[in-house]
Amino acid sequence: MIAQKRTKSILLVNQKDQAIGYGEKLAVHLLGRRHRAFSIFIFNSCGELLIQKRAREKYHSGGLWSNSACGHFSRPLISTRSVRRRLKEETGLSVPLQEVFSFAYRARLANNLIENEIDHVFVGRSDLKPNLNREEAVAYKYIGLEKLKKDLARHPERYSAWLKLIMDKYFRKLA
């Protein structure tokens, strides 16, 4: 049995992605504890990916370009409904999403925080213009995957750690 969740807490998981408890979001990232997260990739009808520039005030990876939206699970159930809710909060978009894969990774971030996640990747389709929540993101653009891969190679410092990893190792699973 896992402990009751607290305000601003995220779900901690073991290496098999089984819920083992909760932790306060910042503390989890300071200590590098494994937690469950999700990344959303929205493509338009031209096959271009919607990417967003994270708000500078974000506690990590602020000012970096990243995937369409992302977040952490706060409950043991992997709920597409909660993922869709987060997409709506960040971008104003409400579209059907499908989980396409998940993967584990660990990355040290620029401000001495550590991502240690099992990341569930969801894909959706939309040609609608996003209405960004300025507390989350300050800009967006649609970009072809090949063009994104080239820019990632030239300017990796402009992108979030998880987007770089997904585009490097799981590129084919997105298309």
Instruction: Tell me which residue of 137, 173, 168 sits closest to 51, measured CA to CA.
Output: 137
Q: Using alpha carbons, list the distances in angstroms from residue 48 to 1, 23, 52, 98, 171.
A: 43, 36, 13, 17, 13
The catalytic position among 70, 90, 115, 136 is 70
Show the tokens assigned to 155. 């300017």
- Is the backbone of residue 61 left (phi > 0), alpha (psi -120 to 50) or beta? left
Is 70 an active-site residue? yes
13 and 76 Cβ atoms separated by less than 8 Å: no
The catalytic position among 90, 115, 117, 136 is 117
Is 157 an active-site residue? no
Report, as residue numbers or ranges, the catalytic residues.
Answer: 70, 117
